[in-house]
Amino acid sequence: MSDTVLIGQYMETNSVFHRLDPRTKIISIFLIMLSFLALETITSYTVATLFVFGILVLSKIPFPVFMRGLKPIIFILTFTFVYNVLLTKGNIIWSWSFIEVTTEGLQNGVRFVWRIILLVLLASILTLTTKPLELASGLEKLLAPLSKLQVPVEQFSLMIVIAIRFIPTILQELDRIILAQKARGHDIVHLPLVKRMLAYIPILVPLLFTTIQRAEQLTYAIDARAYGKGKGRTTYKLLQYQQIDYLVGMVAVLFVITVLVIQVGGV
């Protein structure tokens, strides 16, 4: 299960994205994600899909890795599609009893599912190509102006990165508990759906206990390194924009402008 969740995992492939400044990746991906919210026409979706596919290729990360990362959201994708198909009013193309399927519903279902997939793939690029410490340092630099308003930027950045990094760790612990139960003759996988959902409830207790233990150990480790509130902390690796960062930033801005032009033109 932990292998199917991309958020919080890092994979070294020595691609151009791995060499980018984390601030460049955060800003660029944030702008591109915002532009995805404006996708409406088939042309804009096609352009966005080709753009994301190009990013996946340039990242040099095996494509099956991204496909495995979509497995945990299959339920969300299915629910989103069915919800739009059944509850969107419009031109009815099929009906049975009170169930009606409309052309507009099918279009909305495909459009929203398509958009979610693009967002998940793009978000996974950030964590797969950026080390947690670099991501925390980038967030801290970007949010530095808020420190003048007494906002604990350093603690906020560290909290976000730790939360992201804990996702695969918790899932690995869940896999370990399930394997331990399987070794005792209790295989959850082969249970019916309802019983399988109920069987996960007893697992939450040891999972919560081990998660709290890991959090306490992390707290002791941070205190032992005299991290404190993180104010004025220095870093071994200084972040500095390179020529490739400006180039990638320009490409991201051009993509956003292209999507907006397509939407305004109704292409």
Give the pTM. 0.77
Whether the CB-CB separation of 203 and 175 falls below 8 Å is answered with no
CB-based contact 120:69 (threshold 8 Å): yes
- In this prediction, the residues of the chain whose per-residue pLDDT falls under 50 are none
* Whole-angstrom distance, CA of residue 33 vs CA of residue 119: 6
Domain extents for the chain?
2-265
For the chain, how big is the Rg over CA atoms in Å? 22
Could you tell me if 156 and 254 are in contact, meaning their C-beta atoms sit under 8 angstroms apart? Answer: no
Angle in degrees, CA 249, 252, 256, rounded to 5: 140
Determine contact, residues 187/180, Cβ cutoff 8 Å: no
Give CA–CA dist 47/41, Å, rounded.
Answer: 10
Q: What pLDDT does residue 161 have?
A: 75
**DSSP type of residue 94:** E
pLDDT (0 to 100) of residue 257: 92
Note the pLDDT of residue 250.
Answer: 95
pLDDT in tens, 185-238: 767 767 776 777 777 777 788 888 888 888 888 888 877 877 666 666 666 677
pLDDT score of 3: 55
